[in-house]
Amino acid sequence: MIQQIQKDFAPWFDKLSEEQLSKIVENQVSLNYNKGEILSKQGGFASHIIFLSDGLIKVYKEHNDKNLILKIVKPGEFIGLSSLYNKGIFDYSAASIDSSKVYSIQAEIVKYLIRNNSDFAEKIIGQLNQNTSQYFERIMSLTQKQLHGRIADAILHLSREIYESDTFNMLLTRRDLADFCGMSTESAIRILKEFHNDRIVNIDGKNMHVISYPLLERLSEVG
Amino acid sequence: MIQQIQKDFAPWFDKLSEEQLSKIVENQVSLNYNKGEILSKQGGFASHIIFLSDGLIKVYKEHNDKNLILKIVKPGEFIGLSSLYNKGIFDYSAASIDSSKVYSIQAEIVKYLIRNNSDFAEKIIGQLNQNTSQYFERIMSLTQKQLHGRIADAILHLSREIYESDTFNMLLTRRDLADFCGMSTESAIRILKEFHNDRIVNIDGKNMHVISYPLLERLSEVG
DNA sequence: GAAAATTTATGATTTACCTCAAATTTAGGT
DNA sequence: ACCTAAATTTGAGGTAAATCATAAATTTTC
């Protein structure tokens, strides 16, 4: 167990003292979530930080029935960091879109680590900033591009950042994809079909294969 | 000069050692910008962090001729923090929308402070996270609300967060406001006029007075 | 393994918003 | 003070995308 934690967190520490490791181990619980289960709810107390060890999580905001997926989180990343030193409230919900395994860590412990391990603090700032860059890209995609460009961006993101393959079983439903692209489900379906007919991607149900990255990039660029 | 710097940075440090203060003083230049001048350009090297001491700055992204204003920065805040431990490249441009005075600080110094002053590191993380919350709000406003809701959000933001008054001389041009709300200039103008006619705000050129916060909030809520 | 619920799919209609065009006002430069 | 450029304003027309309606296919539930 301790070995597993040590391994999962390895990328986050150059040097993790015995004391720090044991503090993590003692103030953490390991949890499993099924597809569709909710990990945290927008507005709830952010007393803990989630570390995704296995699976896939969607982080989303709720507003008048409609959801917007802010980020798809893959293993090795934290969820809830943005609540640290903030309001202590989750400003988004998180749900599992696959069977997922997480460590839930007391926020106080993460703060302790930030104070006592400057290497960790730097890496946390690095991750926060990487997320921010990603949010900027999403803001541009969502606000400046039309449907085709947004779907192209989503497919490129899924293929390159999330699944790291040109062929993948996209666990997102059509509705999730629409919520990720800020459009209606019908529009997402229509454009996916268009892309399939135009041989930009090959889609069979949830299975997706990217045929032409250049075309997707072009669609992303022209918006 | 040193006293001024000490005073400007006071909110960022509980305890700033002599050595740390002198490091800041030695590795900083004070700059003045006129209205319209550009402080940093998207894609440029992020070798320094900007601290806004006086004035008002817009941080924006450029994409195919069109700009989207990500954030209006007021005195006391840093610009460029999100480039730290990231790619070392500014992923946005920044321009002065009023006469502004800034300190330009070597990014390496900020990193040094993060490593050697955990209090500062915590506050930086706090600011980053506050920014992120703000970006989430903006993503929701820009993608889920229609024109009226977005303009209402912008006015509420300007009034409450930026100018902290119900009456203010909005230095943003109509185009800036449109770029902040992700809409065409014409639409921004039309809705502003509507709000004026409906006695929600009183607008005379750049001068703006909020008459009814409840109505603005209602518009923001319904989208 | 049937029933219920959700997801996917497609066509028709509506609308919110952009683009275009042209006039007027304001601001900047010499 | 004049000239030029930029910003503001208003109207008309076009369109991208949402909504509505309805059906088929898939998944979930008991």
HEC assignment per residue over A168-213: EECCCCHHHHHHHHCCCHHHHHHHHHHHHHCCCEEEECCEEEECCH
Interface test with B, best of A14, A84, A129 (most B CBs within 10 A): A129
- Residues A25-79 have pLDDT tens digits of 899 999 999 999 999 999 999 999 999 999 999 999 999 889 999 999 999 999 9
Q: What is the mean pLDDT of chain A?
A: 94
- Residues A12-40 have pLDDT tens digits of 887 778 888 888 889 999 999 999 999 99
Q: What is the DSSP letter of A99?
A: -
Distance CA(B26)–CA(B8), nearest Å, equals 16
- B49–A contact, CB cutoff 8 A: no
Contacts of A48 (CB under 8 A, 6+ apart): A80, A104, A105, A106, A107
Quick check: B220 and B179 in contact, CB under 8 A? no
Per DSSP (E only), the strands in B92-159 are 93-96, 100-106
Chain A nearest-CA distance from B1, in A, is 30
Q: Tokens 């992120």 — which residue?
A: B132
pTM listed for this prediction: 0.94
Give the up-direction half-sphere exposure of residue B146: CA atoms within 13 A in the CB hemisphere. 2
Q: How far apart are the first and last CA of chain A?
A: 48
Chain A nearest-CA distance from B38, in A, is 20
Distance CA(B32)–CA(B19), nearest Å, equals 27
pLDDT surpasses 80 at B14: no
**Full DSSP string of A103-166:** EEEEHHHHHHHHHH-HHHHHHHHHHHHHHHHHHHHHHHHHHHS-HHHHHHHHHHHIIIIIS-SS
- A136–B contact, CB cutoff 8 A: yes
Among B123, B125, B139, the residue with its CB nearest the CB of A142 is B139
- A131–B contact, CB cutoff 8 A: yes
